[in-house]
Amino acid sequence: MIDSPYLVKPGKKLKLNKLPTDDTAPFKNKDDAQEAIAKNLVRLKELQEVLYAQGKHAVLVVFQAMDCGGKDGAIEHVFSGVNPQGCSVTSFKIPTPLERAHDFLWRHHIAAPAKGMIGIHNRSHYESVLVERVHEIVPKDVWKERYDRINSFEQLLADEGTTILKFFLHISKAEQKRRLEARLADKDKNWKFNVGDLKERELWGNYMDAYQDALEKCSTKHAPWYVVPADKKWFRNWVLSDTIVRTLKKLKMSYPPAAQGLSRVVIK
């Protein structure tokens, strides 16, 4: 866990509706931030190479957001320079019959990254206390118990060498409206428009309540939540890349030692 104005401090109360969605500090505008973002992406590439070579740590990066929150764009931009061999992306959709036949964490555990890997989860095990709560797919006495299950699951991963970062991409309802309208107006983006998103939008307040509980109850030292202001995509990318880079630097990784006798090797 690193210090950040966007960190959900473990054990502290959270007022999600009081947190900004359009913050830009410390930058004046997009152009002002470009150099910092570019440096972060280069540094992330370098750190990922050491992570992969050392094979000692695993990194799990979780993304959650409302519809149009920018998860896909954030993943595409922030991880654009990393080696695909050391990175995996798992997008969690509606559970399959096989997944429903297991406990709610099963499909997430098998998708957890191996040592040396960065695992990116586009949506996550938190859907079980978000969508399933809002749509009453499971009763209250079931989803209420899941916060403790989630915390125990993440503690297990951390104890076994996984560094966990969880990001909620926080957009305003007005910004969601603009993005939905943009998808309708641009024929090349029509494929992204889902009429079902409008029904989910009607449940905005219920989702905000569910997110607030999940963020507050499940932000821990070993698996912190960060609420990322995401109305401005460029600022979102800076917060994400800055947080990931600073977290990886704290691991104090190094390349494994070379085999002995390499100085005497002659390649003919």
172 is a domain residue: yes
| Residue 208 belongs to domain with CATH number | 3.40.50.300
Q: Decide if 125 contacts 95 (C-beta within 8 A).
A: no
208-222 residue pLDDT tens: 999 999 999 999 999
**Rounded CA gap, 12 and 135, in Å?**
27
**Partners of 227 in the beta sheet?**
168
| Mean of pLDDT values over 23-31 | 95
11 is a domain residue: no
5 is a domain residue: no
Which residue would you say has higher pLDDT here, 248 or 263? 248
265 is a domain residue: no
Give Cα 126 to chain centroid, integer Å: 11
Task: Specify the pLDDT at position 213.
Answer: 98
- Does the structure show a pLDDT above 90 at 193? no
- Does the structure show a pLDDT above 90 at 187? no
- Does the structure show a pLDDT above 90 at 197? no
Distances (CA, A) of 255 to 18, 47, 77: 43, 10, 26
pLDDT > 90 fraction of the chain, expressed in percent and rounded = 91
39-57 residue pLDDT tens: 999 999 999 999 999 999 9
pLDDT > 70 fraction of the chain, expressed in percent and rounded = 100
Of the candidates 104, 123, 127, which has an alpha carbon nearest to the alpha carbon of residue 214? 127
Q: Which helix (H) or strand (E) holds 263?
A: none
Does the CA dihedral 62-119-200-126 come out positive or negative?
Answer: negative
97-144 residue pLDDT tens: 999 999 999 999 999 999 999 999 999 999 999 999 999 999 999 999
Q: Which helix (H) or strand (E) holds 95?
A: none
Of the candidates 64, 121, 63, 125, which has an alpha carbon nearest to the alpha carbon of residue 90? 121
Do you find a cis peptide bond into 26, omega within 30 degrees of 0?
yes
- Does the structure show a pLDDT above 90 at 201? yes
Q: Per the structure, how many domains does the chain have?
A: 1
The residue ranges of DSSP E strands in the chain, in sequence order, are: 58-65, 87-91, 118-122, 162-170, 225-229
Which structure tokens are listed for 242?
């800055």
HSE at residue 193, side-chain half, CA atoms within 13 A, is 16
CA triplet 209, 119, 201: central angle to 5 degrees? 30
Q: How many CB atoms lie within 10 A of CB 229?
A: 21
127 is a domain residue: yes
Q: Residue type at 64?
A: Q
167-178 residue pLDDT tens: 999 999 999 999
260 is a domain residue: no
CB-count exposure of residue 65 (10 Å: 0-12, 13-18, 19+): buried
The residue ranges of DSSP E strands in 106-145, in sequence order, are: 118-122
Task: Specify the pLDDT at position 259.
Answer: 87
Provide the pLDDT confidence category of residue 194 given band limits of 50, 70 and 90.
confident
Based on C-alpha coordinates, what's the Rg of the chain?
Answer: 20
| Mean of pLDDT values over 76-83 | 96
268 is a domain residue: no
130 is a domain residue: yes
Q: Residue 66: give the domain boundaries.
A: 16-251
Task: Specify the pLDDT at position 192.
Answer: 83
Number of H helices, E strands in the chain: 10, 5
**Rounded CA gap, 62 and 211, in Å?**
14
